[in-house]
Amino acid sequence: MQYESPDTLEAAAKLLASATDARILAGGTDLLVQMRAEVLSPSLVIDIKKVTETRTIKEENGGFRIGAAVTGAELKEHPKLRSVWPGLVEAANLIGSTQVQGRCTMGGNLCNGSPAADSVPALIAAGAVATVVGPNGRRDIKVEDVMLAPRKLALTKGEIIASFFLPARGAHASDAYLRFIPRTEMDIAVVGCAVSLALDASGTCTAARMSLGAVAARPLLVADAAKALIGSKIDDAALTKLEAAARAACTPIDDKRGTKEFRIDVAGVLAKRTALIALERARKK
Amino acid sequence: MQERVKSPKFDIIGTRPIRPDGADKVTGRAKFGADHKIAGQLVGKVLRSPHPHARIKSINIAKALALAGVKAVVTREDFKEQSPEFIPAGEMLVNYRDVLRNVLAREKVLYEGHAVAAVAATSETIARQALKLIEVAYEVLPHVINEVEAMKPGAPIVEDGMITAGVTPPPTTPSNVAKRVEFTLGDVAKGFKDADVIIEREFNTKPVHQGYIEPHACVASVSEDGTAELWTTTQGHWIARAHCAKLLGWDITKLRVTSSEIGGGFGGKTVVYMEPLALALSQKSHRPVKMVMSREEVFRASGPTSGANIWVKIGAKKDGRIVAGEAILKYQAGCFQGSPVQPGCMCAFAPYDLENVKVVGYDVLSNRPKVAAYRAPGGPISEYAVESVVDELAATLKIDPIELRLKNAAKEGTKAAYGPKFGPVGLVECLEAAKNSPHWKAPLGKNQGRGMASGFWFNIGGETTVSLQLNEDGTLTLMVGTPDIGGLRASLAMMAAEELKVPYAKVRPIIADTSSLGYNFLTGGSRATFSSGMATVEAARSIIKQASGRAAKLWEIPEDAVSFENGEFRPAGDNAGKHKPMTLADIAKVAGKTGGSIVGYAAISAQGAAPSFGVHIADTEVDPETGKLTVTRYTAIQDAGKAIHPSYVEGQFQGGAAQGIGWALSEEYIYGADGKLQNAGFLDYRIPVASDLPMLDTIIIEVPNPRHPYGVRGIGETPIIPPMAAIAAAACKATGVRMFELPMSPPKVLKAMKDAKAGKKA
Amino acid sequence: MAKHHVSATVNNDPVEFLCETDQTLLDCLRDELNLTGAKEGCSSGDCGACSVTINGRLVCSCLVLGVEANGMKIETIEGMAQGDKLHPLQQKFLEHAALQCGICTPGVLIAAKALLAKNPNPTETETRYWLAGNLCRCTGYDKIIRAVMDAASEMRKGA
């Protein structure tokens, strides 16, 4: 097993394209587990943490550009990010333990290809766009379009996620993320739910995006959720519609972490609760 | 609230000194199973079955052996057949036919993860490659996982030809039921006839793992002359020695076993898994061999405890007096006989003073790893079911659950269904303490409920040897043979110091290896502080006697004219005041000149172990929209007899409670239809984490055990028994529904709440 | 392929070791540097027994490749006491009997030290959530939490 730690993403993409079974190492919190369990035995591990752009958070066009290998702990420590995108930061901070937070990254969380990844619904709700570097250059792709199915991504050979761009936010806008797990920590989401919304001065919802995790083969952007909220004051009637939209979007499986019925139920519960938190936050801005 | 217990009678007992092994454990210096290293050691790895049930047609190791760096491979061919009879191994009865087959499969693999072969190689990477080169031809057989399914006619038979024992006349066809046991007292039919209220319920529990954080690990080194050393993490190194020597056909004396510091056991480290393989690999390769299980192997291939199906029927008069109790327990044994169904039967109704009891138990095989002991083996399952029915009985009769228990509580003179009459026991005291506790009286919040339950464990004694050496400077070295898992060395040093009236710090306890001390049964059954403490006191008293003799010799007076008071040897009677009193240190200085070194030795079979009763109170809060239960407040109350080191007694109460909370709410073995375990890791085998639990309050009750020099009762097992029923009772109050299945996970609770709502509407 | 040559600082001492790509930092500490204080409980980041800090950041050393440690500053349990003076956390763990078997203790201590470096006055809830990745099967966490809070209080007085 080889190890390379190139200084540029272009070099990393070249290495990734050249090997048959190379893997990108960012935080390693999924990769190392899978290597130890012999689920993966890559011939080449490409560490992208020496590439500055993957490791930095910067403000750009009124929004934020977050390197794909920025850790959960660094997201939380950023002086501004947490107040603008509290839901995204809390979602990323639910991945694993404090120890895992010291290493795990949103790029890895997405590229691991799990429908239950915590930060992915939050990125989707935020309308985040991933910048991808490949052997043929750079392109942008909406986060909701990256994952196709478990362990299956819309990236082509040699492509690496460099960063995520979070758009500028106006006044009265915020987000939230909640997940359901059997314990209080250290579990994989049975259901995850992210809501991002904006209000006008009168408190009417002008924009909303909701994403659900762990209720389908990939994290979902629930279009009907936006319909339920936009134009409303997010009153009980709107929340009831939102709950129904969330449940209707679910196509879950029965597995060791939960039943179909339970996931559908809880998706509705979380949708309402998450929206109320986002609403509360948006009102305060 | 941490109850402080201090008896004015004692100088040291009841205080809270720092444990002797403490500094090593907070600095990373302490050596656990995987921390030992011998120059030149090889890495040993185990090939495990991918099938839950299959016949092994052939095993071809040629390619593995040919790989550079592979030094030895062992398979079933390397071990001789063993007798299926149960023979004594120390205090236990062991069937070495099954022990052998669990260490390494012979005719069949009986569960996913069953060991099939082992390799020793110069590196981890090579050992892993070698495993892939071993060719095993399997004939896959139908499997059975659930104990109720396994008892049905036509179920796949796990052990070919097994005939149920304990049934007359013996069945003529084989089944998966290894054994039927029955305990009866009085006449239950008559009792139920007298009852005003009868409640009958069926319960299901899942297997749960001991969940020790340290995986099994050992290092074996076999010399050219056939002598061998084994370093292993175990609750009983004499047991490990017995099993290894038997399986390898060696004289016991050739094998010296050292127990490392042990990173948790809870019963799960009372058996051997890799140790015989490591020794066999070392013998073949002429190199030391180290083997360490991965966490996944721990879950797949080391013992959880039984999952079970339990039926309970209790009848009572209107005033709450219980007139009959009956139970049928079906316990999973795993793939070999030997579930803890017998202790389960013994414990079931033990907290009650009943005239009519009948408990029937079945030991049921299925294609799962062989169960191992887990803290109060068998007790938590049967007592959960009985306590849950008692709680329902209290609700039905509108009697406070503590009052109902007080009305029926076992006490001194109560005859237990399994035979003995109890001596002084502390159940009533625990119940009274619960009733008077601030917790029981505290107000509850929204969506919260409170429950309580009792627990019982009988405790054991057994073979124990200690050696207490008086060193030339007056300090003492205490050698004991029961591995210290949670502060034992502190408690034993305290007892020795108390007895000898020397400062605690002057006694240095160590865990001796099997060649340095006589036989010791393992640390388990809540026996270590009781039995090794009893032996320590006996050894200390022997030192006093010997030292008195030396003083007598120096003073040229009769030995019985020397008294030992307040740490001094004094001439007594007619000789009083005639000689300057001597301390133990004074005598130690001249020991060499007065007859040689002074060593107290005690080799006993500790008798007089007394039961420990406990009562737990739990508050739970339910999220009504998701069914998630959270324990918001908890109090564990238990009779310790005498708490030698109260902090470690409280620690046992708290640790048992936490394991019980996990058992109640989140822990379970999850199998797929393919017979494979789906959650072999700490991610999805959910033991409680720090943020899941509240502070765990404790109240120590002390009703001394008259048969121990300091009144000690074993206390480690009992605390895992009450939590499941206490939480179920609390959950019932919080949710309005009664759960009959563990774990009470959110999907089940939410469904039960929804069904109850729908039922009400309908 | 040849092993990697790694130079790092462990507990303020310069160290060098050789490792394969697939050896974790935990493997390297234990097998190459003979620092066995960090324990392997799961190798999947679920138990925290292997906790160390890298450049001050708390991590599971089982989830870091040894080769990644090149040039890094690593602290392990072996570096926590100063001479014969135990760290206040170590001392409080002993006084509160916050360990039974002791296998989780090194990881818990390292994690608790990282907590107090960041937050000298944590609430019980903050302490519990920070330590949620450190499994303990013996104590039910009660005495661990009390010991950490007590050490925090003592360290605040000393500061």
Residues C94 and C148 in one domain: yes
Which CATH architecture does the domain made up of B462-606 adopt? Answer: 2-Layer Sandwich (3.30)
Query: A182 and B678: CB-CB below 8 Å?
Result: no
Residues 118-137 of B with CB under 8 A from A: 128
User: pLDDT category, B9, cuts 50, 70, 90?
Assistant: confident
Residues 597-636 of B with CB under 8 A from A: 625-628, 630
Take residue B395 and report the two structure tokens written for it. Answer: 């609700």
- What's the confidence (pLDDT) of residue B54? 98
The pairing of strands A160-166 and A129-134 is: antiparallel
d(CA B586, CA B267): 44
Does residue B91 surpass a pLDDT of 70? Answer: no
- What's the confidence (pLDDT) of residue A31? 97
* Interface check B684 vs A, CB under 8 A: yes
Percent of all residues in chain A with a pLDDT value above 70, rounded to a whole number: 100
Show which subunits contact C, needing at least 3 CB pairs below 8 angstroms.
Answer: A, B
Contact present, B626 and B725 (Cβ < 8 Å): no
Helix (H) or strand (E) holding B481: none
Does residue B94 surpass a pLDDT of 90? Answer: no
Q: Is C133 left (phi over 0), alpha (psi -120 to 50) or beta?
A: alpha
Closest CA to B355 of B171, B188, B226: B188
- What's the confidence (pLDDT) of residue B4? 38
Determine which of C59, C110, C125, C136 to mutate to test the interface with A (most A C-beta atoms within 10 Å): C59
Show the beta-strand stretches assigned E in A13-136: 22-25, 44-47, 57-60, 63-67, 129-134
- What's the confidence (pLDDT) of residue A207? 97
pLDDT, tens digit, for every residue of B650-678? 999 999 999 999 999 999 999 999 999 99
Contact present, B408 and B391 (Cβ < 8 Å): no
pLDDT, tens digit, for every residue of B580-603? 999 999 999 999 999 999 999 999
One of 3.20.20.70, 1.10.260.40, 2.30.40.10, 3.30.465.10 is the CATH number of A2-114+129-166, namely 3.30.465.10
**CB nearest A184 (choices: B692, B745, B751):** B692
Residues 92-131 of C with CB under 8 A from B: 93-97, 99-106, 109, 124-125, 127-129, 131
Helix (H) or strand (E) holding B305: none
Query: B658 and C96: CB-CB below 8 Å?
Result: no
The correct answer on CATH 1.10.443.10 for the domain covering A173-283 is: no
Does residue B106 surpass a pLDDT of 60? Answer: yes
Residues 434-493 of B with CB under 8 A from C: 485-487
Query: B751 and A38: CB-CB below 8 Å?
Result: no
Take residue A245 and report the two structure tokens written for it. Answer: 């939209």
* Interface check B750 vs A, CB under 8 A: yes
C interface toward A at CB cutoff 8 Å? Answer: 1, 4, 20-22, 24, 43-46, 48, 51, 54, 57-60, 62-65, 67-68, 111, 114-115, 129-134
Q: Say whether A173-283 and A2-114+129-166 share the same fold.
A: no
Sign of CA dihedral B501, B506, B510, B515: negative
pLDDT, tens digit, for every residue of B490-519? 999 999 999 999 999 999 999 999 999 999
Q: Is C56 left (phi over 0), alpha (psi -120 to 50) or beta?
A: left
Task: Give chain C's end-to-end CA distance (angstroms, integer).
Answer: 50
Query: A100 and C62: CB-CB below 8 Å?
Result: no
The strand order across the sheet containing B476-480 reads B507-511, B476-480, B462-470, B598-606
Does residue B681 surpass a pLDDT of 80? Answer: yes
For residue B693, the distance in angstroms to the closest alpha carbon of chain C comes to 8
d(CA A104, CA C63): 10
**CB nearest B28 (choices: C76, C124, C135):** C76
Instruction: Write down the domain spans for chain B.
Output: 33-141+214-263+269-301, 308-459+610-761, 462-606
Contact present, A125 and A207 (Cβ < 8 Å): no
Instruction: Write down the domain spans for chain A.
Output: 2-114+129-166, 173-283
* Interface check A43 vs C, CB under 8 A: no
| Cβ neighbours of A258 in B, within 8 Å | 746-747
- C45: domain CATH number is 3.10.20.30
Mean pLDDT across the stretch A60-82? 97
- What's the confidence (pLDDT) of residue B553? 96
Does residue B1 surpass a pLDDT of 50? Answer: no
User: pLDDT category, B291, cuts 50, 70, 90?
Assistant: very high
Contact present, B174 and B167 (Cβ < 8 Å): no
Q: How many angstroms from the chain centroid is the CA of residue B157?
A: 29
User: pLDDT category, B759, cuts 50, 70, 90?
Assistant: confident
- Partner residues linked to B629 by β-bridges: B622
B255: three-class secondary structure by DSSP: strand
Tell me which amino acid residue A22 is.
A
Does residue B3 surpass a pLDDT of 50? Answer: no
Take residue C40 and report the two structure tokens written for it. Answer: 């392997």
pLDDT, tens digit, for every residue of B189-213? 999 999 999 999 999 999 999 999 9
Residues C74 and C92 in one domain: no
Mean pLDDT across the stretch B230-256? 97
Does residue B92 surpass a pLDDT of 80? Answer: no
Query: B686 and A188: CB-CB below 8 Å?
Result: no
Instruction: Give Cα separations from C87 to C73, C81, C83, C155 (angstroms).
Output: 19, 5, 10, 10
* Interface check C36 vs B, CB under 8 A: yes
Contact present, C59 and A102 (Cβ < 8 Å): yes
Percent composition of chain A: helix, strand, coil (DSSP 3-state, to 5)? 35, 25, 40
Query: C104 and B213: CB-CB below 8 Å?
Result: yes
User: Structural domain tally of chain C?
Assistant: 2
Residues C108 and C72 in one domain: no
Mean pLDDT across the stretch B441-459? 97
Domain at B33-141+214-263+269-301: CATH code: 3.90.1170.50
User: pLDDT category, B5, cuts 50, 70, 90?
Assistant: very low
Take residue B256 and report the two structure tokens written for it. Answer: 């010296």
d(CA B293, CA C30): 16
Supply the DSSP symbol for C32: I
Does residue B6 surpass a pLDDT of 50? Answer: no
Report the b/e string of B163-200 with b at 16+ CB within 10 A. Answer: ebeeeeeeeeeebbbbbbbebebbebeebbeebebbbe
Contact present, B394 and B161 (Cβ < 8 Å): no
**What residues have CB less than 8 Å from B212, skipping those under 6 apart?**
B263, B264, B265, B266, B268, B269, C101, C103, C137
Does residue B280 surpass a pLDDT of 90? Answer: yes
pLDDT, tens digit, for every residue of B26-46? 999 999 999 999 999 999 999
**Residue pairs spanning A and C at CB distance below 8 A:** 89
Take residue B416 and report the two structure tokens written for it. Answer: 């237990």
Domain at B308-459+610-761: CATH code: 3.30.365.10
d(CA B462, CA A212): 58
d(CA B431, CA B559): 49
Angle, nearest 10°, between helix axes B646-665 and C142-158? Answer: 120
d(CA C60, CA B424): 50
pTM: 0.97
**CB nearest B745 (choices: A38, A182, A184):** A182
**Locus of tokens 């998706």:** A267
Mean pLDDT across the stretch B361-374? 97
Nearest CA in chain B to A97: B689
pLDDT, tens digit, for every residue of B384-434? 999 999 999 999 999 999 999 999 999 999 999 888 999 999 999 999 999
Residues C65 and C109 in one domain: no
d(CA C61, CA C34): 14
Query: C140 and B657: CB-CB below 8 Å?
Result: yes
Closest CA to B637 of B629, B621, B649, B620: B649
* Interface check B154 vs C, CB under 8 A: no
Closest CA to A108 of A56, A191, A49, A20: A49
d(CA B76, CA B635): 50
Query: B691 and C125: CB-CB below 8 Å?
Result: yes
Does residue A18 surpass a pLDDT of 60? Answer: yes
Residues C94 and C123 in one domain: yes
Query: B746 and A265: CB-CB below 8 Å?
Result: no
Residues C34 and C9 in one domain: yes
**CB nearest B689 (choices: A36, A186, A256):** A186
Longest alpha-carbon distance in chain A: 60
Does residue B7 surpass a pLDDT of 50? Answer: no
Mean pLDDT across the stretch B299-327? 97
d(CA B184, CA B186): 7
| Cβ neighbours of C80 in B, within 8 Å | 26-28
For residue A29, the distance in angstroms to the closest alpha carbon of chain C comes to 6
| Cβ neighbours of B26 in C, within 8 Å | 80-81, 86, 90, 93-94, 99, 102, 105-106, 109
Residues C74 and C106 in one domain: no
Q: Which one of C79, C108, C123 terminates a domain?
A: C79
| Cβ neighbours of C36 in B, within 8 Å | 28, 31-32, 34-35
For residue C158, the distance in angstroms to the closest alpha carbon of chain A comes to 26
Longest alpha-carbon distance in chain C: 54
Q: Say whether B462-606 and B308-459+610-761 share the same fold.
A: yes
User: pLDDT category, B762, cuts 50, 70, 90?
Assistant: low
- What's the confidence (pLDDT) of residue B761? 64
Identify the domain containing residue C44 by its residue range: 4-79
Show which subunits contact A, needing at least 3 CB pairs below 8 angstroms.
Answer: B, C
Mean pLDDT across the stretch B242-256? 97
Percent of all residues in chain C with a pLDDT value above 90, rounded to a whole number: 96
Burial of B142 (0-12, 13-18, 19+ CB in 10 A): exposed
Q: Which one of C41, C56, C79 terminates a domain?
A: C79
Does residue A67 surpass a pLDDT of 70? Answer: yes
| Cβ neighbours of C28 in B, within 8 Å | none
- What's the confidence (pLDDT) of residue B525? 87
Residues C92 and C74 in one domain: no
Nearest CA in chain A to B624: A269
* Interface check C86 vs B, CB under 8 A: yes
Determine which of A265, A272, A273, A276 to mutate to test the interface with B (most B C-beta atoms within 10 Å): A265
pLDDT, tens digit, for every residue of B163-183? 999 999 999 999 999 999 999
* Interface check C71 vs B, CB under 8 A: no
Q: Is the ipTM of this structure higher than 0.95? A: yes
C130: three-class secondary structure by DSSP: helix
| Cβ neighbours of C134 in B, within 8 Å | 690
- ω before B743 within 30° of 0 (cis)? yes
Whole-number average pLDDT of chain A:
97
| Cβ neighbours of A99 in C, within 8 Å | 45, 48, 51, 58-60, 63, 111, 133
